[in-house]
Copies of this chain bind each other. A is one copy, B any other.
Amino acid sequence: MTEYRTLRVALLGAGAVGSQVADLLLKHGDELADRAGATLELAGIAVRDLDAKRDVDLPRELFTTDAETLIVGSDIVIELMGGIEPARTQVLHAIASGADVVTANKALLATHGSEVFEAADQVGAEVYYEAAAAGAIPIIRPLRDSLAGDRVVRIMGIVNGTTNYILDRMDTEGADFADVLAQAQELGYAEADPTADVEGYDAAQKAAILASLAFHTTVPLDAVHREGITSVDAAMIESARHAGYVIKLLAVCERLTAADGSESISVRVYPALVDRSHPLASVHGANNAVFVQAEAAGDLMFYGAGAGGVQTASAVLGDVVSAARRHIAGGVGVGESTRANLPAVPIGHVITRYQITLEVDDKPGVLATVAGILSEGRVSIATVEQTVIEADENTQTGGSARLVIGTHKAREQDLSETVERLAASGVVERVVSVLRVEGN
C-alpha cells in the first residue's frame, strides 16, 4: 500500500446522507485514498443529539456535539446539517479556519451563496456542492467545467423527486393529487409536511443554484418565480395526455436576448406541459433529470437519482475526493464565475407557449368572441379543440362546451391579462386551467 499524507475530515450532521457518507468513508478508506492521493481521516461527526437513532452503525467515539472545536484543524469540512442556521455559521467558521467545504445544503446556497463563496474566495478556499443541485446526478462539474467554453441557452430540470413521483403516479394511474400524496407519505417518498416539495420551494432553491452556475450570474432565490403542483388535478393530467403532453414540475433557467442584443435571464419553477416524445417525459418515479441546451453542444441530458441517502452520499464523496486532490496538488481555488451578472427578468416578461382550458357557453358566436379577445391581447392561437360537455337534452343548446386552446409563443403578461379579460367576458363560465408548454 502506498503511504499518503493524511487529511483531516470533519462531518457535520449524521442524517440520511451524513450517516452514509461516514459509513462509506470508513468502509472504502483505502480505495478513496488511491483516488484522492491522500488518506482521509474521519476526525469526528458533529450532531445535535448523541443518542439519536442513525441509519447506519457508526463508531460511538466519533460523535460529538461540539462542531466548532471539531472544525478547527480540519482540512475538509462536510456540512450535511441542512437548513440555514447553524449551518451558515459553521460553514463560515470552517472557511475561516482554512478548510475546504463540501455541502449538500441547497437552502443555504440558494439564500447565502454569495456570502459563502465570497468568504471562500477571500481565503482561497473552495466550496463543493455537487449534491445540492440534483442529488446523485453529476451536474455541477458539467456546467462549471465541461460547458465552460460554451453558452448555455436553457435548462429544464426535473429536480424534485417527490413531485415527479406524485405527477408520474397521477399520470399512470389517473389518481388524484391528495390520494397519491398520502401514499407517497406512507412510502417515505414525501415528508409529513410536504410543503417544501409540493409548493416548489425545494425546486426553486435548486433552480437558483443551477442558473447561477449556467449563466455565471448570482441568482437570488427571490428572483425565481415559483408555483407548486397542488392545483394539478386528474382532469388536467388527462387533458394533457389527450393533447400528447405530460405534466412535469420543471425548473426552467433561460437566457433571453433582446432585440438590441442585451441579455437577461429568467428562472422559474412551475408545472408545465412537456411533449411525450421529449426525453424529460420519460423520467419516471422519483428520478430526476436535467436537460441542458447549449449553443455549441446542442441538447444534453443528465439523468439519475435526485435524492436518497446513499445516492447523495456518492456526490458528497466525489466532492471530498476533489477537495483532497486540491489540498495535495496545491493551487488556489477556481471560485465561482459570476462576471456575466445578467439581470433576472420578472415572470411577466417570459415568452413561452400556453394551453388554456375554458368552460364556455355552448352557443353561436362564443368561439368568435374568445378568439377576438385573444387576438386583441396579442395571443396567437395555434390549436383549438372544442367538446360539448353538458348539452341541454331538449334544445341541444344552452349547455357548456370545453375549449382547449394551444397558443403560439406569447408574453406571460399579455397572456395573463388576456385570461383575465376572458374570465370577465361573459361567455366564459370558468377558466379551468392555464399551463405553460415547455420544450420547443
A residues contacting B by CB (< 8 A) are: 2, 20, 24, 28, 31-32, 34-37, 130, 136-138, 140-142, 145-151, 216, 279, 282, 294-305, 308, 310-311, 313-322, 325-326, 329-334, 337, 339-340
Contacts and interface: CB of A to CB of B under 8 A. Distances in A.
B314 A304 contact: no
Given A138-B147, A142-B138, A334-B329, A296 B321 contact: no
Contacts of A142: 138, 141-142
Contact of A314 (B2, B37, B149): B149
A140 B147 CA distance: 12
A145 to B, nearest CB: 5
Contacts of A301: 301-304
Contacts of A340: 31, 34
27 contacts: A2-B339, A24-B149, A28-B149, A36-B148, A130-B146, A138-B138, A138-B142, A138-B300, A145-B322, A147-B318, A148-B318, A148-B321, A149-B319, A149-B320, A150-B317, A279-B282, A296-B313, A296-B314, A298-B311, A299-B305, A300-B302, A300-B304, A302-B303, A329-B332, A329-B334, A330-B332, A331-B332
Contacts of A150: 314, 317-318
B149 A138 contact: no
A320 B279 CA distance: 30
A303 B279 contact: yes
A149 B337 contact: no
Given A24-B296, A138-B141, A296-B311, A322 B148 contact: yes
A24 B295 CA distance: 11
A188 to B, nearest CB: 16
B296 A149 contact: no
A348 to B, nearest CB: 28
Contacts of A302: 300-303
Contacts of A2: 339
A89 B279 CA distance: 42
A389 to B, nearest CB: 36
A34 B146 contact: no
B303 A298 contact: no
A304 B150 CA distance: 14
A330 B297 CA distance: 29
A140 B146 CA distance: 9
Nearest to A291: B303
A20 to B, nearest CB: 7
A306 to B, nearest CB: 11
A35 B148 contact: yes
Contacts of A294: 314
Contacts of A31: 151, 340
